[in-house]
Every structure is written in structure tokens, then in C-alpha cells.
Structure 1
Amino acid sequence: MNDPAQRPERRFPRASWLMLGWLTAVWVMLWGDLTAANVIAGFVIALVVTTVLPLPRVPFAGRIRPWGIVRLLAAFLRDLLIASVQIAATTVAGRRPKGAVVRVRLRSHSDLVLTLTSGFVSLVPGSIVVETHRLDGTMYVHVFDVDRHGGVEAAQRTVLEQEQRVLRAVGSADQLADAGMAPAGTGEGERR
């Protein structure tokens, strides 16, 4: 194991200063009191947690596209508003929702795209990712009211549209091609 490429990385701290700062801020917000003791304790805990339980490195082979990120966030905010109104209306009307677990096979094979898509889908009220299969890119999503959503096919289409927005925001040209989408800026639609 004399090859430097095979040796594990040994640096301290293992997490970035931005991550340590974020974790410290979360600690202070959880306590609800900005004191020197809370800041120091939060920083020490963040340092210990990221050193003892480091997150694996996620390779990023994509490309950041500002316009794609704007479209992703705008669509997310729209979905958030619409879903909140629909759930409130269902609750106020006293109607019993018809929940369902929907299986969706994603087009991308990137761990980052799977994670981001899962996060955005779960953050919208009325849908939660209950399971993912990394190797085949399958996601199981619980939908609060499948009838109001337009049926199983509409729920699947919603998840695939979210994946497409994530790919258009941070995917590489190869990832877009693998997912059957034309590279951004070509004016072409989906190939499949």
C-alpha cells in the first residue's frame, strides 16, 4: 500500500470549514440560544461527528447550470405551494385521501441525481420517498392522494420531471445523454 492513490486520505479536519460552520449553526439553532458556550459546543460536536463518522465522498462529474438551478428551484416552490393547498383542501373538506406507493424507474444512474431527486420529491408535502434502489435506479414514493394527483402514471411522471430538472441543473452532457435527454441548449426535447 505504498501507492499514494490507494492510501486513505488523512487530513484534519475531514469536513470542510463550511460544513463545520453549518453544523455549528444548526446546533445553535436547535438550542435556540446564541451563547459562546453553545457555539463552542456545537463546533466541537461537529468536529467529532465529522471525524468519527465521515460522509463518503460523492464524485461530481456534472456541470452547474445557473438557469437550470433557477428552473429547478422555481418548479420546486410551485410544487410546494400547490401541494400545500391541495392537502389543506383535502383536510378541510374531510375527504379521505387514497394513498399509494408508486414505483418509479429513474433514467439516470448517478448517485447524486438519485439523492437530489429523492430530496426534492420528499420535501414536497404529500409525497415521501420510502425506498430507493441505487443499483437499478428505482424509487418507491408514497403519494398522499393518488386520485388528486391524477393517478399512478401522473405521479410517476411528476418524479421523472423532477429528475429531469435536476439533470438539467447539475448533470453532465454524458448523464443527459444516458438519460435520453438532449444536451441543454440544443433545442431538442426528450429522445425517449
Structure 2
Amino acid sequence: MSAALGTAPVRDLAAATAATTTVSRAIGPVLATATVATGLMSGLFFAFDVAVMPGLAAGDDRTFVTAMQHINASILNPVFGAVFVGALAMPAVGTWLLHRSGRRAATLWAAVATLLYFAALVLTSAVNVPLNDRLAAAGDPAAITDFAAVREAFAQTWTTANIARTVLCTAAAVALTRALLLHRGSSAR
């Protein structure tokens, strides 16, 4: 009986070591995926800041409204949805894994990234989505009588909020890069 009791702590230690190894192996891929997803969202918002919105601003009101209605409808697809949600879920999972592994500095950076991206989601939900919904509610462009008013109610606020989303997402991507580098540095030791 004492021999069986003597091996239990050894088995528990082996199981704990295996679990820790599994967590450690998952951290790198999770952080890399989080960084890519957040970078993709940052790049999407940046593209609107430097190309899409300035390009549409140079056009007439009807073109602006029609194009933004089509863009807003077409962006709601599974690929965008997976990246949009993944850019929050993956940093959160990475934060949890880093915390479990005891890597405090990397955990802090991943947590900051998660909070920054969450702030971008709150901004999206509070400003951009309601504006998109109002733009859609303006109806078929063939039936809109005052394109200038529809554009005026949308463009400036949406563009300003998008710039803020770009800044938040870019900062989140930088924080995730730092977390990934700290993780790799601690794993190399």
C-alpha cells in the first residue's frame, strides 16, 4: 500500500508537467493567430481611412451613399465575421494561457491588446453600426430624394469613429506583437 501511495505524487507531477507543456505549446500559435487577426482588422480600418473614404469623398452624394450601402452589406460575410470575432477571442485566450503559464509581462501585454480591441468593438457597436443601419434604412438609392442629407448624417461621424478604431486596433496589434516576443523570449530560455 505504501508503494502505491509513493507513486501518486510522481504521477500527479507528470500530469501537471504535461498540462503545462500543452499550455506552453499552444501559446505561440494562439498569439500569432491573434496578432494576424488584429492586424487584419487594423488594416481593414486603415484602408477605409486612407483610400475608401477619401475616394468616396471625392465623388458625388449619390455615389457615396450607394457605394457605402453596398460596402456595408457585402462586408457582412463569414470571413469578415470570423476575423472580427477572432480578433477578440484569440487575444483573450492568449491572455488566459499566458496567465496560466506564469508569464506575467506577456500576460499584461496580451490583456492590454484584448482591452484595446474590445474598445474598438464597443466603438463599432455604439457608432459605426448604428450609422450603417441608418444608411441602410435610407432605402434603395432609386427612392432617396436627398442624398446630401443622407451623406451628411453619416460621413463625418463614421469616418472619425473609424480613425479611432484604426488607432485602437493598431495599438492592440502592437501589444500582441510585444506579448508574442516576450513569450518567445521566455520560451527560448
The bucket for the TM-score relative to the shorter chain is under 0.3
Give the TM-score normalised by structure 1: 0.26
Greater strand proportion: 1
Mark the structure with the bigger radius of gyration. Answer: 2
Give the TM-score normalised by structure 2: 0.26
Greater helix proportion: 2
Q: Which has the higher contact order (CA 8 A, sep 6+)?
A: 2
